[in-house]
Chain A
Amino acid sequence: MSANNTYDAIVVGSGISGGWAAKELTEKGLKTLMLERGRNIEHIKDYVNANKAPWEFEHRGGRTQKMIEDHPVLKRDYVLTEVNEDYWVNEKESPYVEEKPFDWFRGYHVGGRSLMWGRQSYRWHDSDFEANLKDGVAVDWPIRYADLAPWYSYVEKFAGISGNRDGVPILPDGDFMPAMDMNIVEKDVSARLKAYYKGNRHMIIGRTANITVPHEGRTNCQYRNKCWLGCPFGAYFSTQSATLPAATKTGNLTLRPWSIVTKVLYDKDTKKAKGVEVLDAETNKTYEYYAKVIFLNASTINTAWILQNSATDIWPDGLGSSSGQLGHNLMDHHLGVGASGIVEGYEDKYTFGRRANGIYIPRYRNLDGDKRDYIRGFGYQGGAGRERWSRDIPELNLGGEFKDALGEPGGWTMGIGGFGETLPYHDNRVYLDKTKKDKWGLPVPVINAVIKDNETKMRIDMANDAKEMLEAAGVKNVNIYNTEAVLGKGIHEMGTARMGRDPKSSVLNGWNQVWDAQNVFVTDGAAMTSAACQNPSLTYMALTARAANHAVEELKKGNI
């Protein structure tokens, strides 16, 4: 072992959870190597489009035929635009196999998807951790809300989450910064919903990882709503704005971009991992790095991929596969169903500033005595806004008056879209395709995951409830939309190396340690035992901080 290649800890991946792992481990004194498969993106300096005005983009933000050709997956959704095309994976270099359609949106660069994430940040409720046990689905979570609550506080305080302490029982309040405001229409809709449902349904302002007051050397949100270009103010939580500077400050961090981790090096004598193998993405040379502790934060599907490619001489299906669960139970939130309509009046009202946030309607189904023909539930995200100009001026199609009308504000609209819980199904899975190779000659992942009966039934409620609520709140001409549910579109992949109480039925223990190699920790979405319906990133942060703390304690005790 070369001293140059030896660290106390290795973190694989530099996104939301990898950044947290690096911060926690370095702050606790561990010399840490953070490996990132893609290029570096330096905070502010490399946000090349962040300060462009809309008219400075060659196609004004549109998508070209070349972009469509280059991104056969990304083109399926709104995320493919001219403004941040470079933040998305090169799909030709890194293909995957879809046995069933699965939209896999990846960011292969330092910061990962923390640069482009939606930033909605919600705690889970105790009932979310109890749900599998209560319903007899999959396996029980090995932890409860009480285990995670202090870690939620810990990560909220550092990341900076703005929101109200709304006191909605199903959605625990956190340590928040001042909330962003609802606009005038949203306020009224929220009040009408509360009255109509007698306080049993709530529409609150989104809780978002955009800071509303200066914090940790970062500038508060400037209401540009250009977050996914990278924020020159560091106003939303990302690896670059928050965890990476903290980790760097310790002097204990080494960041190595262009480093594709191909496997965890497993030592069968010690029954622990001794390091990782890295393929340099630029030179194609192979390196080994060694450490006492390894955190896998490569994102749900790639973390499973690394494990499945590791220690195959001992376990043919890879490190952590002894339970038969590695790569299985892939989840996402199913979405693409909701409703929208027009709001009459408020013609003298507008908004100023571009709020990078919307409203949230927390789950209410299958709670407090409500019983549906499916289990679990869904929440909604959405908002009200005023169109910039009215598209429906009869008989005014062109000419001078038409031109002037383009500069007038249009009508108000309000829409909400559901985020539904997907159950962990054993046959929703990822595995390695040994025949098809990527640019570096590595096997590509095969994804096979679909929604089933429970989700299909839930979607009927997601559509009808949206219409009912909007109409109850006075929204007119309400139209339901219910698109085909393709997993992956939620960009909330979870579950491929689940936590559990028993090594026979789970990949990780209650501290996110791989049962089969206890100095390997998995704290990204792969660890999730169920999906709940809240956006999951805040939970990854809390799990990571908790696991890193445990890892260091175990190291000190000599247990790993």
Chain B
Amino acid sequence: MDRRTVIKNLALVIGGAALLPSCLHETGKASIALKKINVSADQEKFLADVAETIIPKTTTPGAKDLSLHLFVLKMVDDCFSKNDQDAFMSGLDKLKADAETRFGKSFGEASQAQRESLLNELEKKQAENQKAQGKNAKKPADADDRLTFYGITKGETIYGYTNSKYFMTKEIVYELVPGRYNPDYPAKNFKATLKHGLS
């Protein structure tokens, strides 16, 4: 059995999901196998930097540590409609270009503050759209693909984060088999750090 086959089988054994390591892919392609969307290594890197801006590494792991950008790609590939996938990819490219124009360098090379300011502009636009839609349901939403891209990326990054093994075992208390129900439980024990460490 050659090395590639070994790695492939190992991936199947471990996850079934097969988030295959990048060495199996031709240069320039995304690091995981995708069926519907076509993502380049460059686009993947940009997505990873956006996810990392939303959930940055601090004293605790960030999006890249937890491969949340790969989860976003997996979800977009399997769970979203063709329209959403197209808007996601087109929005990704537009936002990536926006960053390069504005900062004179790639999004990833910009400072955290610069990256946050660009994404916060989208947050603001999204909020305005929602407000306008609330007032007049007939008014069509701003069809800016950047917002679709950012909305999906943020939603899935958070979903991936709050359902990650790290979050569920180290940030909060999650037991697969609680075995009991406490209807009046001190909220401070909700945090894994407090329960297992400080308190």
Contact = CB atoms under 8 A, between A and B. Distances in A.
Contact of A407 (B15, B75, B159, B171): B171
B182 A349 contact: no
Contact of A58 (B16, B53, B177, B181): B16
Interface string A325-368: 00000000000000000000001111111110000000000000
Contact of A184 (B56, B112, B184): B184
Interface string B141-178: 00000000000001000111111110110011110111
Interface footprint category on A: 35 or more
B169 to A, nearest CB: 9
B42 interface: no
Contacts of A182: 183
Interface stretch (A14-22, A47-55, A463-471): A47-55
A85 interface: no
B162 A388 contact: yes
Contact of A55 (B58, B163, B191): B163
Nearest to B165: A55
B198 interface: no
B81 A65 contact: yes
A253 B56 CA distance: 60
A277 interface: no
A223 B179 CA distance: 6
A348 B164 contact: no
B178 A400 contact: no
A180 interface: yes
A60 interface: yes
A64 B70 CA distance: 16
B163 A54 contact: yes
B40 interface: no
Interface in B56-85: 56, 58, 60, 62, 71, 74-75, 78-81
Given A55-B164, A399-B116, A183 B184 contact: yes
Nearest to B184: A184
A398 B54 contact: yes
B120 interface: yes
B121 to A, nearest CB: 11
B142 to A, nearest CB: 18
Contacts of B120: 397-398
Nearest to B112: A399
Given A53-B168, A59-B74, A351-B185, A222 B60 contact: no
A63 interface: yes
B79 A65 contact: yes
B56 A409 contact: no
Contacts of A398: 53-55, 116, 119-120, 123, 154
A403 interface: yes
B167 to A, nearest CB: 7
Interface in B78-136: 78-81, 112, 116, 119-120, 123
Interface string A372-403: 00000000000000101100000001111011
Nearest to A187: B183
Given A55-B164, A58-B17, A64-B78, A351 B177 contact: no
B189 interface: yes
Contacts of B160: 60
Given A51-B176, A353-B179, A348 B186 contact: yes
B178 A59 contact: no
B82 to A, nearest CB: 8
A389 B62 CA distance: 18
Contact of B188 (A51, A60, A348, A354): A348
Contacts of B81: 65
A544 to B, nearest CB: 31
A352 B180 contact: yes
B187 interface: yes
Interface in A35-73: 51, 53-55, 58-66
Given A55-B168, A349-B187, A398-B116, A224 B79 contact: no
Interface string B14-27: 01110000000000
A53 B187 contact: no
Nearest to B164: A55
14 contacts: A58-B74, A60-B71, A60-B159, A61-B163, A62-B75, A62-B79, A183-B183, A351-B184, A397-B119, A397-B120, A398-B53, A399-B116, A400-B56, A409-B187
Given A59-B78, A224-B177, A353-B181, 9 more contacts: A60-B71, A66-B78, A223-B179, A223-B180, A349-B185, A351-B182, A352-B173, A354-B181, A409-B187
